[in-house]
Copies of this chain bind each other. A is one copy, B any other.
Amino acid sequence: MSEPVRLQFEDFSQDEEISALQAASTRMGGIATFLGCARDFSQGRSVHEIGFEAYERMALPELVKLRDEAITRFGLIDARIVHRLGTVRAGDRIVFIATGAEHRAPALEACRWLIDELKERVPIWKKEITPEGDSWVTPHP
């Protein structure tokens, strides 16, 4: 079984992630997921590819901590987080979060919380590769 928190270059299967999540318990009644995909269009420009770079020494422990926090905070049975690195093309999977709980509300709330926190707290940077050249996405510092 793959690790529940991963940074990886390869693509992954949602069905396999969900099966791994469900394996934790048959008391799981609600599973929420969020999948972030590469869009072919951003701020008025067409985007062919997106590149991701992480400070892995910090990014992976931070993702593990986020998962632990979510499990405690929302009373989840289990949760999984996968984020890709390297270059992905328009339509490709980038980030996947899955949360499982006995009932639907904590699963849905934890999923929302995890993607919001991930964007704030995990040292990963995105570069948009467009026909006019590459540019790193820099939110206001």
Contact = CB atoms under 8 A, between A and B. Distances in A.
Interface of A: 13-15, 18, 22, 26-41, 90-91, 102, 104, 107-108, 111-112, 115
A34 B41 CA distance: 26
Contact of A39 (B14, B18, B26, B34): B26
Given A26-B39, A27-B41, A30-B36, A104 B108 contact: no
10 contacts: A14-B15, A26-B40, A26-B91, A27-B40, A28-B39, A29-B36, A32-B35, A33-B34, A34-B108, A36-B104
Nearest to A36: B30
A35 B18 contact: yes
A39 B29 CA distance: 5
Contact of A22 (B18, B29, B37): B37
A31 B28 contact: no
